[in-house]
Chain A
């Protein structure tokens, strides 16, 4: 239980897998979530997304998840209920508009769907470090990967530069005194220094890039990731489960009709298979992380 309290963060075992494994998981999970409106599937993805995000981020994830999803939940449900007049079961009339049970349920389902996607992305954020994103963009085109990498370099650089500028201005005795307007003036000045400084520095950066052969044809993209046997097995397992679930989703087994009346899931064989495959898929990283964490705890006990 300790792991759920503190969160595994970037040290999670699943995060240490090859980025392709991570990406495949999130593509399947988020993709299928986005096209599934069936209550069973919605409930499943909601539960798993919350569980995994708490496992990764610790108990503080509960608070952030509530902050980000509850407003979405309320707003979407309310909007759909009051602005969509489809549906057979009328609850009441408002200004001659029909407020229906189906619209309310559909709004709720869509809201749950969207909020789970948001929570899934919070997991994605932890697992997909900047390195991995650069790796994928580098696979598409080396220049894209490099651009991303340069952005990640520039953000902390600009921050530290701005700090230095503020400090320099304070050294001159500026910054402390004055009204709101003069403070604004001072900030504008500091930003202007930051821009001209950075542009000037960028000339040298581009010199340094060109000096190291940037612009030559046939650029490659270097990375430090290794595709291990475990990664291959995981890819196969996820491909199988995710593939089945995706086919089920494409056949419409994961969704239900809300209009004109709600038709609940017909649990035929394919739906059951899809549900099982989808559950297995969602469970894979949780299992990996929990087993990995337990192994660590044992290892630490031995020492």
Chain B
């Protein structure tokens, strides 16, 4: 029997004209792993919230949402609390108590269990999630990834049958995110919990999912096995592609592009399916490229493309920078050397806690390094903080942007004009009257970016700008950044997002142990790496090491096949 059944669900928010969900019908079987994807604000969260009684949004509702044959709205409170678990986006906001162990026990305390039982269940869960080592810590000492894992564990301790997760990794760095998703997968495989998860990072989830649901404008576009999703989203050609096509894993994009060009199909158990993993991608390529000789990257590209920029002046010049936060702590920056030229989109990549954000702070002048020098015109620098909420003061999006111009000495008409342009540039015109806090994560990011850009910076520092953005808006963001760069703005960006940097950066650098260890154009940079590179590159690097983006790779496969 289906655990969750949604039938003809229509839902409209009180003040909205258009429905947020339209004719949504689907059912989820027991122990299934369902991935829900779609653009920001497409109705994913609204749908997921309908599956938990106390989170159901207020508005006009038609149709029915059933859990084990019973309407969710009529579920018993005790059952609702223990059998359906819900994990939100923000790790910090979900934590209630001050200690890890207390947080784990919170749900069980609510259910009124006695101390012995709670202790036993908490012990079980702490062992399953491997959190014994920080069991007695204060929650404020945990990292973001640990906090989200704690949120998950404190729900799992109530032994839910269904676990719903609403973009749980959007605030986490890739390593913590990957760790978190693996835990979700383990829960599904080892405990048989039904999982319904909405996400933008699909690369890993597609390999875990039983079924994928694609939502657009409140409607289900497709609900199918992951390897079939590509067929629908790819459409009839490049112009017919669904926006969510760009959010699929690279290998699926490459595959559906090539399939259209007549390249042999991939078969698993004699059935045509789309490859999902890098391994499958390689197997697919090997099936028809077996006689192709392997190529090693010789190094050295012609530098014509950025030839004009190398002549430009260096606007950020960091020399022999040493920094540590306190006398006893280790050095975060160890003789950092770095220079960024005018009008360049420079990406600094690297692991967690390597000191990337510290580098940004040093450039911005927020911290004073102990040794070395930073040459940069501070008055021209603006920085986008990781958490956009740190910037919001006003009650509407419009006023928020106006606030940025508070100290500008220009007429009101000019201000309004600038704001209008910025709203259009950031594609948030339809949200102008909304409260900044009512926006989704991606929309908030755009608003914060708009606010910073209104300060007319000549040097823009970005700290993880793609965090929590949907793949479609990433493309828009890249467009915005390129426009800025073309107008002479220098962008220095710190990121974990390899795919984004590979596709759009002018220059990438790898940060490790307090210094830049390698640096170059995306081609030079990623072709020289063997692990720290895009997944498209990992698939073909045996034959075509300089293929970085999925488009390049797809094109190369087509051409090779034609020969």
A→B interface (CB under 8 Å) = 130-131, 134, 142, 146, 149-150, 152-153, 156-157, 160, 164-165, 167-173, 189, 192-193, 196-197, 200-202, 204-205, 207-224
Contacts and interface: CB of A to CB of B under 8 A. Distances in A.
B86 A201 contact: no
B99 interface: yes
A165 B106 CA distance: 30
Contacts of B86: 208, 211
Contact of A189 (B52, B102, B385, B393): B393
A200 B379 CA distance: 33
B1 interface: no
A105 to B, nearest CB: 47
Instruction: Bin chain B's interface residue count.
Output: 35 or more
B393 A222 contact: no
A59 to B, nearest CB: 22
B140 A168 contact: no
A215 B110 contact: yes
A218 B109 CA distance: 9
B93 A208 contact: yes
27 contacts: A131-B99, A150-B98, A153-B98, A157-B92, A168-B385, A168-B390, A171-B364, A171-B391, A172-B382, A193-B390, A193-B391, A196-B392, A197-B389, A200-B389, A200-B437, A204-B90, A208-B88, A209-B106, A212-B155, A213-B82, A216-B77, A216-B111, A216-B112, A219-B112, A220-B112, A222-B109, A222-B115
Given A212-B154, A219-B112, A149 B99 contact: yes
Nearest to A224: B101
Given A172-B404, A204-B93, A221 B109 contact: yes
A137 to B, nearest CB: 13
A219 B390 contact: no
Interface in B374-396: 379, 381-385, 387, 389-393
Contacts of B455: 172-173
B93 A196 contact: no
A277 to B, nearest CB: 34
A222 B81 CA distance: 18
B112 A218 contact: yes
B9 to A, nearest CB: 20
B508 interface: no
B451 interface: yes
A76 B98 CA distance: 39
B528 interface: no
A213 B78 contact: yes
Interface in B428-477: 437, 451-452, 455, 461
Contacts of A160: 140
A294 B349 CA distance: 52
Contact of B140 (A131, A156, A209, A216): A156
Contact of A211 (B54, B92, B114, B381): B54
B96 interface: yes
Given A153-B95, A212-B107, A223-B115, A169 B390 contact: yes
Given A211-B155, A219-B109, 16 more contacts: A130-B98, A168-B385, A168-B387, A168-B390, A172-B382, A193-B389, A197-B389, A204-B93, A208-B95, A209-B96, A213-B78, A216-B110, A216-B111, A220-B114, A222-B118, A224-B101
A162 to B, nearest CB: 10
B110 A212 contact: yes
B387 A220 contact: no
Interface in B102-153: 102, 105-115, 118-119, 122, 136, 138-140, 151
Contacts of A192: 393
Given A150-B96, A196-B437, A172 B451 contact: yes
Nearest to A165: B390
Contacts of B191: none
Contacts of B88: 204, 207-208
Contacts of A153: 95-98, 139-140
Nearest to A166: B390
A220 B94 contact: no
Contacts of A207: 54-55, 88
B85 to A, nearest CB: 8
B501 interface: no
Contacts of B82: 213
A205 B390 contact: no
B557 to A, nearest CB: 43
Contacts of B107: 212-213
Nearest to A152: B98
> Of A192, A193, A208, which is in contact with the most chain B CB atoms at under 10 Å from its CB?
A208
A211 B81 contact: yes
B366 interface: yes
A224 B104 CA distance: 12
A219 B92 contact: no
Nearest to B366: A170
B385 A171 contact: yes
Nearest to A212: B107
B392 A193 contact: yes
A212 B105 CA distance: 10
A222 B102 contact: yes
B229 interface: no
A153 B95 CA distance: 9
B102 A149 contact: yes
B388 to A, nearest CB: 8
* 6 nearest A-B pairs in the assembled complex, by CB-CB distance: A168-B390, A213-B81, A213-B110, A218-B112, A212-B107, A222-B105
Contacts of B516: none
> Of A165, A171, A200, A224, which is in contact with the most chain B CB atoms at under 10 Å from its CB?
A171
Contacts of A200: 389, 437
Nearest to A221: B109
A205 B140 contact: no
Contacts of A210: 54
B90 A167 contact: no
Nearest to B102: A149
A54 to B, nearest CB: 27
Nearest to A217: B112
Contacts of A167: 366, 385, 390
A192 B98 CA distance: 24
B158 interface: yes
Contacts of B381: 173
A202 B82 CA distance: 22
Contacts of B392: 193, 196-197
Contacts of B461: 171
Contacts of B158: 212-213
> Of A130, A169, A205, A220, which is in contact with the most chain B CB atoms at under 10 Å from its CB?
A220
